[in-house]
Amino acid sequence: MNFAFLQTPRGKLITYAILGIVLAVLPWVLTGGFENGKAWVRAVDFALLYIMLALGLNIVVGYAGLLDLGYIAFYAVGAYCYALLNSPHLQAMLPYWAHNPPFLLMLLVAAFTAGVFGLLLGTPVLKLRGDYLAIVTLGFGEIIRIFMNNLDRPINITNGPQGINNIERVHFLGIDFGRPVQWLGLTFDMVHLYYYLILAFCVLIIFVTLRLQHSRIGRAWVALREDEIAANAMGINIRNVKLLAFAMGASFGGVSGALFASFQGFVSPESFVLMESIMVLCMVVLGGMGHIPGVILGAIIVSITPEILRDVINPMQEAAFGKRVLDPENLRMLIFGLAMIAIMLVRPEGLWPSKRRAREFHEHDEEARA
Amino acid sequence: MSTPLLQIQGIHKRFGGLHALNDVGLSINAGEIYGLIGPNGAGKTTLFNVLTGLYQPDEGRFTFDGHDLFRKKPYVVVRSGIARTFQNIRLFANMTALENVMVGQHVRTHSGVIGAIFRHPKARAEEAAIRTHALELLEYVGIAKRRDELARNLSYGDQRRLEIARALATRPRLLALDEPAAGMNPSETEGLKKLMQKIRDDGVTILLIEHDVKLMMGLCDRIAVLDYGKKIAEGRPEQVKNDPRVIEAYLGVAPE
């Protein structure tokens, strides 16, 4: 295939225009074309949230090369931030001005708080790398979850395992995202409204990541990944650059978490288990570490595949055996695990790697052939 | 004689029981090429690591260009004007030659996250300047044609040159080169010698570790000899070459 056309300014413009139109009509195609279309739009909304998470983790793992197995903790921090300020649960205790802050301010608070937690994680692990770093970050993720599970005593802050209920939906630009809106003869349900909201923030995060990638900071991150000692000797302040990577990555997670809490209307520690951290890491690795389109692709595949399996395997089973023999929920991890093994064997650089990474993995093939 | 550019006195560095640097002192004047030689394990690279902040010395004094650099972090040292290369090349292997040199300018530039995201005019101008200067430096060391190659794919000699370009990108006053000619053939070594002389003529002082004695004799203004962590001789090349302690350190003592 020849992609040269896509590189010209006009080609780019046309590509983005087509992409924009597809993304704009996607929820309507789904609700119009499928019986359970709303569930599909919902799945897409979650995929978008995962894209944000994967892009955040990509900064830490893909650019700066710091393996983080507790990333979901920042998602949790963002989600609880939103939940605590926007639900009746804590409102008796909080001063009046802290109730339901304006949406954009709320997101800034969530991003900032998650960023602070990123620094909290980053500071003690500055000297760790590889396996050791992975273990500590894994522990950190669990600590956050366990805190949320147990902070219902002595003062009930997080409401423990029951989680926080009745979280207010987003109110933004005069729209209540919890209620259907009639516009242009279309009924925008909550899933549609949230689709556009989350998409907007997703695009924002992609934009920020792109800008960071091609900047002095982005280069310092990559240098750190490539050779920490050399980066140090070139006068890069390793401590600051690492902490910045942790904080930036965490703040993306915080934004995503806040949107998640408002969309779901409910948060509990169960949403933030280790498996979720691993899933986000899989999205990054599977798609292509350090390459934004790859990471997005990875996030979409990993988060949408289970939904497709559910809708494909059940009818298949019913057709073949007349009943459901296996619950696809149980099969999911099996299939997922096998897919991961296959991909790591065949394409260790990820499905859609950056040119740099593809070269890194495959130039030895050429040498071997020559 | 004006005050020396770099001055260290009484530097000690111990690794457990090993006394890697024992009361080492030297001073380097602006504009000279200063050589550091000694048998393997004499402490040359340790001294380099101390001078560039990668190791913290245990005792001593270390001033450079009027700054006290004793036990300072590497980024402080680099900002004060000391840059280095490594004995076993440490480039950012999966970045292009150009990107490597751009990273080298990190310490002399300031754009942060805000500048990166909003790309305001100042950040744009800085980014453009970084790029231009990186290209100039690649041109300067003679590998401009290979700017978009990954550092790992460059030939050995070009990697050495790229490391020098990256170090020069920090705009140093003193350039410390750790065995830059190791593994080079005679014509590559000759090219490197010319490059070092050019760098010196452009106002950068050079501190050089090298085993190639012929190269050192023809190039250095002064040479210091280290053995077992101690400085055993210092002076002009021909003085050092004939110093009995140096001959002893390299060849051993003739039996009586």
Q: What is the pLDDT of residues B178-231, one digit of tens each?
A: 999 888 888 889 999 999 999 999 999 999 998 888 888 889 999 999 988 899
| Residues of chain A found within 8 Å of residue B115, distances taken between Cβ atoms | 215-216
For range A22-39, the mean pLDDT: 80
Structure token pair of residue B6: 């770099």
Q: Do B116 and A236 touch (CB under 8 A)?
A: no
Considering the domain architecture, whether residues A152 and A259 belong to the same structural domain is answered as yes
- Chain B CB contacts of A357 below 8 Å: 94
Domain end (from A256, A285, A314): A285
Residue A207 counted as domain residue:
yes
Test A230 with B92 for CB contact under 8 angstroms: yes
Residues whose CB is less than 8 angstroms from the CB of residue A247 and which lie 6 or more positions away in sequence, other chains included:
A115, A116, A118, A119, A122
State in Å, rounded, how far the first CA of chain A is from the last one.
25
Same domain, A12 and A112: no
Burial of residue A329 (number of CB atoms within 10 Å: 0-12, 13-18, 19+): exposed
* Closest chain B CA to residue A245: B113
Asked if residue A368 has pLDDT above 80, the reply is: no
Judge if A274 and A180 occupy the same domain. yes
Look at residue A336 and tell me if it is in a domain: no
User: Are A69 and A77 within 8 A, CB to CB?
Assistant: no
Q: Show the domain range for A7.
A: 1-33
Tell whether A208 lies on the interface with B, counting CB pairs under 8 A.
yes
Q: Which of A250, A285, A320 is the last residue of a domain?
A: A285
Characterize the bridge pairing of strands A175-176 and B222-227: unpaired
Residue among B82, B96, B103 with most chain A CBs within 10 A, to mutate: B103
Contact A211 B112 (CB under 8 A): no
Q: Spell out the alpha helix ranges (H) of A151-237.
A: 190-213, 216-226, 228-233
Tens digits of per-residue pLDDT, B105-153?
Answer: 998 888 888 888 888 888 899 999 999 999 999 999 999 999 898 999 9
- Residue from A161, A192, A157 nearest A178 by CA: A192
Note whether A119 and A240 are same-domain residues: yes
Residues of B in contact with A217 (CB under 8 A): 111-113, 116
Q: CA nearest A168: which of A251, A102, A109?
A: A102
Do A66 and A190 have their domain in common? yes
ipTM here: 0.90
A62 closest CA partner among A237, A296, A300, A275: A296
Residue A246 has pLDDT above 90, yes or no: yes
Q: Which CATH class is domain B1-81+172-256?
A: alpha beta
Residues A99 and A70 in one domain: yes
Shared domain for A43 and A28, answered yes or no, is no
Closest chain B residue by Cα to residue A205: B117
Residue A8 touches partner B, C-beta closer than 8 Å: no
Q: State the total domains in chain A.
A: 2
A289/B251: higher pLDDT: A289
Same domain, A46 and A184: yes
Interface of A with B in 215-254 (CB under 8 A): 215-220, 222-223, 226-227, 229-237, 244, 248
**pLDDT higher than threshold 90 for residue A254:** yes
Q: Across the interface, do B116 and A217 touch by the CB < 8 Å criterion?
A: yes
Residues of B within 8 A of A216 (CB-CB) are 106, 109, 111, 115-116, 126-127, 130
Domain boundaries defined on chain B:
1-81+172-256, 94-171
* A293 in a structural domain: no
Size of interface A-B (CB pairs under 8 A): 101
A2 pLDDT band, cuts 50/70/90, is low
Q: Are B156 and B183 in contact (CB under 8 A)?
A: yes
The sheet with strand B230-235 has its strands ordered as B82-84, B174-178, B205-209, B33-37, B222-227, B230-235
Contact A359 B126 (CB under 8 A): no
Nearest chain B residue (CA) to A215: B116
Same domain? A102 vs A239: yes
For chain A, count helices (H), then strands (E): 15, 4
Residue A365 CA: distances (Å) to CA of A288, A352, A358, A361, A369: 19, 18, 11, 8, 6
**Residue in B54, B106, B116 closest to A236 by CB:** B106
- Asked if the model's pLDDT at residue A98 lies above 70, the reply is yes
- Express the helix, strand and coil content of chain B in percent, nearest 5 each: 45, 25, 35
Kindly report the backbone phi and psi dihedral angles of residue A145, in degrees, each rounded to the nearest multiple of 5, phi listed first. -65, -45
| B252: closest CA of chain A, how far (Å) | 36
Mean pLDDT of the residues in chain B: 89
A12 touches chain B (CB under 8 A): no
Which residue among B77, B92, B109 places its CB closest to the CB of A226?
B92
Q: Residue type for B114, please?
A: I
- A70, two tokens: 């507790």
Instruction: For residue A237, list chain B residues with Cβ-Cβ distance below 8 A.
Output: 73, 75
Query: CA nearest B124 in A: which residue?
Result: A215
- Examine residue A311 and state whether it is found in any structural domain, yes or no: no
- Are A4 and A65 in the same domain? no
Shortest Cα–Cα distance, B217 to chain A (Å):
28
Note the pLDDT tens digit of each residue in B1-32: 467 899 999 999 999 888 899 999 999 999 99
Q: What is the mean pLDDT of residues A293-312?
A: 86
Q: Does residue A111 sit in the same domain as residue A20? A: no
Measured in whole angstroms, how far is the alpha carbon of residue A215 from the centre of its chain?
23
Among the residue ranges A53-67, A151-165, A284-298, B43-57, the one predicted with the least confidence is: A151-165
A332 belongs to a structural domain: no
Looking at the fold, whether A156 and A68 belong to one and the same domain comes out as yes
Would you state the pLDDT for residue A1? 43
Residue A321 lies in a domain: no
pTM given for the model = 0.89
pLDDT band at A332 (very low <50, low <70, confident <90, very high): confident
Q: Which of A243, A263, A285 is the last residue of a domain?
A: A285
